[in-house]
């Protein structure tokens, strides 16, 4: 009976860097979509109305959405070879994860931002 030995890909730093670059590209794409949507709907709050800490947390949380992609592709696939096409797939999947997560995190953070003034106005 043949035995198959799987060896983990030894160069994880370039793979993680490519995944983060793909996630950054996805974050920029999500920002461009948000900017285009804001220009079509001027009733939405401007970025100056949102706290800077909230925007920073939103961006960090969106970038962290790429972590499960890296874990799934690199660590759960022992035959990952690190070919250029594999790197492109990794960057694409990371970017897509961020594009999918950014609106959700934005909706959650804007909902939290809207609820705080209501609590102060009610006196509780």
pLDDT at 117: 53
Q: Residue 102 in contact with residue 48, Cβ under 8 Å?
A: no
User: What six digits make up the tokens of 123?
Assistant: 């006196």
- At 91 the pLDDT is 92
What is the chain written as a DSSP string?
A: ---------S-HHHHHHHHHHHHHHHHHHHHHHHHHHHHH-TTSPPGGGS-HHHHHHHHHHHHHTTHHHHIIIIIS-TT----HHHHHHHHHHHHHHHHHHHHHHHHHHHHHHHHHHHHHHHT-
**Tell me: the pLDDT tens digits for 73-118?**
887 877 788 889 989 999 999 999 988 888 887 777 767 666 555 4
Q: What is the pTM of this model?
A: 0.70
Q: Is the pLDDT of residue 123 over 60?
A: no
């Amino acid at each position: 009976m043949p035995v198959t030995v799987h060896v983990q890909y030894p160069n994880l730093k370039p793979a993680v860097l490519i995944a983060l670059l793909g996630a950054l590209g996805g974050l920029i794409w999500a920002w461009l979509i948000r900017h285009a949507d804001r220009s079509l709907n001027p009733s939405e709050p401007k970025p100056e109305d949102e706290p800077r800490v909230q925007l920073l947390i939103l961006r960090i949380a969106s970038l962290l959405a790429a972590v499960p992609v890296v874990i799934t592709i690199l660590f759960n696939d022992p035959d990952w070879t690190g070919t250029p096409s594999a790197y492109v797939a990794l960057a694409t999947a990371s970017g897509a994860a961020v594009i999918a997560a950014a609106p959700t995190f934005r909706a959650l953070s804007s909902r939290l931002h809207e609820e705080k003034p209501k609590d102060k106005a009610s006196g509780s």
